[in-house]
Amino acid sequence: MILTVTFNPAVDHTLAVGAALEDGAVQYSGDERFDAGGKGINVSQYVAGLGGETLATGLVGGFTGEYIRTALEGEIDTDFVGTDGLTRLNTTVLAGDSEYKVNHRGPDVGGEAVDAVVETLRRHDPDVVAVCGSLPPGLDVSAVDRVAAAGEWATAVDVGGESLAALDGDYAYCKPNEAELAAATGRSVESVPEAFAAAGALREQGFERVVASLGGDGAILVGPDAAFHAAAVDVEVVDTVGAGDALFAGVLAASDAGADDEQALRRGVAVASRVVGAAGTSVPVFDGLDEAAAAVELTRES
């Protein structure tokens, strides 16, 4: 089972205003939506859509936290830890040709919240624990290291580049994008060869496998035995939100099912290509994925 940890989830509030915002004016939205957000939650949703066994945990509190619990009922299995603070609300306003974002930082939590998350993990005894997303005020990367050291599970992480550099444990996977890979290693990542070099340096810091999303340059997976580059799939891109989470979910689900690194990367890229063809982080239909994965253009690096 793949268990995801989202320490700082959010309710994503998106609303559309027909015209540009005006100072002092009352304007009304014509379309609005609320979604349970958070990188770990996204990963669990994609893993479930692929038919894998998964469970999402993390920290939730207040009416926004209760919304996340309710919104995920019937979609994925969850076992969240309650907190006294209010789960953050992230608001995006689409106004004319402009987009505005206002995000909460999240509730201030302490080490006891990490203790409760660890106990939740031990109770479910997963094969893989994926810690994804930002940390709320009051926690630092030592919380992630505690999760990695708390059980026999393989730990995967998708956190910011500076956080990757500060982690001190041994990790089965990390999933940076180009900017995070550069920030974690202090290297330039402006080409595929530079990405391979940076991923190799990151492996030396304690990450067994590095899966990096490179936007239009596709993705790479650098492991203990070989390194692979997958070209981006030629699809109509509707929305890139969730693409990195989909790539990670596809790789983890495939690996958990026994796939080797080459097969896992193919699967991850195929999953991500389906996700970018749909708006938001909704889970698309994954039928015909075996054929799509086999068609991914992949190169093995020496």
Active site residues: 245
Name the DSSP letter for residue 110. Answer: -
Phi, psi of 110 (to 5 degrees): -120, -170
Upper half-sphere CA count for residue 214 (Cβ side, 13 Å): 25
Q: What percent helix, strand, coil does the chain show, rounded to 5? A: 35, 25, 35
Burial of 258 (0-12, 13-18, 19+ CB in 10 A): exposed
Name the DSSP letter for residue 84. Answer: S
E strands, the chain, are 2-6, 10-17, 29-37, 54-60, 77-78, 81-82, 88-95, 98-103, 128-132, 154-158, 171-174, 207-213, 219-222, 227-230, 298-301
Rg (CA), the chain: 19
Q: What's CA 31's distance to the chain center, in Å? A: 26
Phi, psi of 207 (to 5 degrees): -105, 120
